[in-house]
Chain A
Amino acid sequence: MKPLLSIRNVTKIYGGVTALNSVSLEVKAGEVLSLVGENGAGKSTLIKVLSGAVIPDEGTIEYEGRTYRQLTPALSKSLGISVVYQELTLCSGLKVYENIFLGAFEGKAGFVDRKAMIKKAQALVDGLGLHLDVRQQMEGLSVAYMQLVEIAKAVSRKARVLVLDEPTAPLTGPETRILFDLVKRLKEGGTAIIFISHRMGEIFEIGDRVAVMRDGSLINIHAVEEITEEQLVKEMLGRVLSKTFPKREFAIGEEILRVEELSNEKVDHISFTLHRGEVLGLGGLVGAGRTETVRTIFGADPRLGGKVFLEGKEVNPQNPREAVELGIAMVPEDRKAHGVVLGLPVSNNICLSVYRRISKFWLVDRKKEEQLVDGMISRLRIKTPHRKLLAGNLSGGNQQKVVLGKCLASESKVLIFDEPTRGIDVGAKQEFYKLINDLAANGLAILMISSEMDELLGMSDRIIVLSEGMMTGELAKEEFSQERIFEYATANL
């Protein structure tokens, strides 16, 4: 049988980082192809190539015998490729049938024909075996049903390739069953389905074939009958840790930060300690609650339960300002939205947290400002022609250094890195690792979230792993292994 959709040698490079490395993949009509891989393996980028959101640097996409160099969102839709993302794209203020027909309302002369739409939508939903009144308001539905509506919408647009990006992540067991029934029905109807999940059991249950991705490359494709779960995990993780990480040779000191039973909506009773000179890695899958955990410690998210101790004393930071005053600083995950202020000069960014401290009678001491900024530029080796350059004109790595400079300027004791090297090219990454080591050597306590396995293993002195908001494991340096981390990270799925 000829494949419906073929991806051939697709490569995508983001500013020096290879997100997709000559990936080739085929999907046939009426099959479920599972796509597995760790965070950052390139699954999302691959999907975005299909949806037309990302233009590949190289390679082609073949669909029904025609070859495309790139797809646009409109072209992708008109070809019948439909992607259901984790973040659903429905209008919660509208009714179910309105969402199904959104963008393709039926009617004449500018008036919508409600009755016809309701009838058609109800027939569609019934045909898919869903028990749902299409006149219902979208807001009242559970996440599972919202997802089903999204799939129904795709079906109504005659989707022939349906991509489901971790559809089961927010679902309960029975809800997953409903989803799987729908997937099976669509598959029998001849739809090609690409299914992404971290849950191994589901892949073996629903998938016909499984494609393994790792670090932007397609590693292997198997028929599910021919492979075991163990082999699959091995292939997902089986990278040779090639990157060398700078060595650290100094002792870890006394306890600086202790967190006890930290809780809120996304964080479930997490406890750990962090010492002077230590880099504590925080591992887990995307959505495991790692970012929420550090934001809660930092006071950026509400803390509903638990205690935070800094140097043995209980502290209670209610907002980031109090955390910064206590000596906790954070380099956030989303650099452009939360880290660097792109429209401000390098100097204003670096001094942002300390302007009050370097002011007298409201007036900023500009000599102190200059000294601080120039000191930080040379200490962190920030490549900028002068301190008044807008931060938005710097490269990603240098922007990240500016954020780090801001954290160091506030003389913090605890430094939180959330994905410190995301979107930074390889050379800048190495430089950043050295900086992190220097900071630890100088007595800072460092808490580092990383979705990159080699970075997590290479940089941490100790690793704790979260899964679904809970802490599922803690590893000392001599216990580090990719398999152990993966096992803990998927423990609660």
Chain B
Amino acid sequence: MAASINKYVKKYMTVVILAIIILFFSVADSKFFTIDNGISILRQVSMLGITAVGMSCCMLVGDINLACGVLQGFSSVVCCLFLANLGVPVILAYVLTLAIGTMAGGVGGAIIVKTGMPALIGTLGIRLIINGGAYLISGGLPIYGLQDNAKWIGQGFILGIPVPVIFLVVFFIIGSVLLNRTYIGRHLFAIGSNAEATRLSGINVDRIRIFAFAFSSFCSSVAGLILMARNASGQPNGGNGGEMNVITACVVGGVSALGGECNPANLIVGVLIIGVLTNGMTILGVNEYWQTVIRGAVLILAVGFDFYQKTRRVRAKVPVRKEETKKD
């Protein structure tokens, strides 16, 4: 009985926390709990959420993609270059940008996987290269001169819902289908749980890991297009540091920092917790430095809880398990 309650607490913990945070801000300020502010929060977390979908695949196999933030700025600059400076049609510019972003992630991933270096270090290097590349392309300054129809992806509405929010929903569906319904999803989970056993089962572990890097970069590039459209410019430093929020959202959303665990439904709650916290604190007028401190505390809490569950608790459980294995 106690065990099943525990299981439910763990399963719906994030939802409960989100509800408590929403309740707190609703009581604290009447401007918070309105439809307008709700949509505003969703729009604010759209880029974070889309990037987090990709990142969760990387973290699922036990890797990480630190370049997912700066890739947004890079993509916005590249797309602006196509649109404003080279006069490429909008759709083509988008497709080219996404292809370049995905390629960058795939090549970087291939280098990491084939050399066997830790993803943390490898993507740190890639992050620097991409960030520097964005500055080089733009000459260090934002690129302006975006035509109006290119801004739709960031500023438009469909049936009163902002386009970025629709993209967010679409990407969560894509992530959900990818992880739960496709063979790639099954392989991602298997690699995250036990890469060597997966390899010995005849699966190309390297290729799946590279796919995760490429997919993560693709998601970041999509977020980059939205970033560009919202700012109506290409910002070389856009998204820089955003990877920290993405990792926080993933971990709060139940993506294990050790790999092997990820649930898209939970992930969206993690993304919303970060979004609601930021929005609510801003409405309350909490100064930005304190907001950063609080986000850090949330990250520590989430990771600490996750690891405590896995290591400290498991140790206490070991004798129980032995009993279970005895009855065949």
Contact = CB atoms under 8 A, between A and B. Distances in A.
Same complex: yes
A353 B192 CA distance: 16
A352 B325 CA distance: 23
A306 B215 CA distance: 40
A362 B189 contact: no
Given A330-B200, A344-B193, A355-B187, A363 B328 contact: no
Contacts of A175: none
Nearest to B182: A362
A393 B203 contact: no
A235 interface: no
B201 interface: yes
Interface string A391-408: 001011110000000100
Interface stretch (A23-31, A99-107, A195-203, A319-327): A319-327
A427 interface: yes
B11 to A, nearest CB: 15
Interface stretch (A64-72, A123-131, A162-170, A331-339): A331-339
A397 B182 CA distance: 30
B85 interface: no
B186 A355 contact: yes
Given A321-B203, A324-B201, A343-B260, A395 B190 contact: no
Contacts of A356: 183
B328 A341 contact: no
A140 interface: no
A344 B195 CA distance: 12
Interface string B184-208: 1011011011101111111110000
Nearest to A399: B325
A355 B187 CA distance: 8
Given A15-B322, A321-B202, A321-B203, A338 B183 contact: no
B258 to A, nearest CB: 10
B182 A363 contact: yes
Given A325-B202, A364-B181, A337 B186 contact: no
Nearest to A426: B328
A15 B326 contact: yes
Contact of A320 (B182, B199, B326): B199
Contacts of A342: 193-194
Interface size class of chain B, counting residues whose CB lies under 8 Å from the partner chain? 20 to 34
Interface residues of A, number: 44
Contacts of A339: 197, 200
Given A16-B326, A363-B182, A398-B328, A344 B189 contact: yes
Contact of A321 (B193, B204, B261): B204
Contacts of B201: 320, 324, 352-353, 406
Contacts of B315: none
Contact of B193 (A298, A343, A355): A343
Interface in A338-386: 338-344, 348, 351-353, 355-356, 358-359, 362-364, 366, 383
A383 B324 CA distance: 13
B312 interface: no
A359 B182 contact: yes
A428 interface: yes
A300 interface: yes
A395 B203 contact: no
Contacts of A364: 181-183, 186
Nearest to A322: B202
A452 interface: no
A196 B326 CA distance: 31
B196 A337 contact: yes
A425 interface: yes
Interface in A297-314: 298, 300
Contacts of A395: 324-328
A66 to B, nearest CB: 27
Nearest to A300: B200
Contact of B203 (A15, A352, A366): A352
A410 interface: yes
A383 B325 CA distance: 12
**Most-contacted residue by chain A among B201, B324, B325 (CB, 10 A):** B201
A324 B202 contact: yes
B197 A338 contact: yes
A300 B182 CA distance: 26
A447 to B, nearest CB: 15
Contacts of B183: 355-356, 358-359, 362, 364
A351 B190 CA distance: 11
Contacts of A410: 202
A323 B202 contact: yes
A319 B183 CA distance: 20
A358 B183 CA distance: 8
Contacts of A348: 186, 189-190
Contacts of A353: 201-203
B196 to A, nearest CB: 6
A410 B200 CA distance: 12
A57 to B, nearest CB: 12
Nearest to B186: A355
Contacts of B261: 343
A131 B148 CA distance: 82
A341 B203 contact: no
Nearest to B323: A15
Contacts of B182: 359, 362-364
Contacts of B328: 16, 383, 395, 397-398, 425, 427-428
A341 B186 CA distance: 12
A17 B246 CA distance: 49
A320 B183 CA distance: 18
A348 B198 CA distance: 11
Nearest to A337: B196
A66 B326 CA distance: 34
Nearest to B181: A363
Interface string B278-298: 000000000000000000000
Nearest to A330: B200
A352 B198 contact: yes
Contact of A337 (B189, B197, B327): B197
Interface of B: 177, 181-184, 186-187, 189-190, 192-194, 196-204, 260-261, 322, 324-328
Given A330-B200, A353-B201, A353-B203, 17 more contacts: A15-B322, A320-B199, A324-B202, A332-B197, A332-B200, A338-B200, A341-B197, A341-B198, A343-B194, A343-B261, A344-B189, A355-B183, A358-B183, A359-B183, A364-B183, A395-B327, A428-B328
Top 10 A-B pairs, shortest CB-CB distance: A324-B202, A343-B193, A355-B183, A362-B182, A359-B183, A352-B201, A341-B194, A321-B202, A395-B328, A341-B193
9 contacts: A300-B199, A352-B190, A352-B201, A352-B203, A353-B202, A359-B183, A362-B183, A364-B186, A383-B328
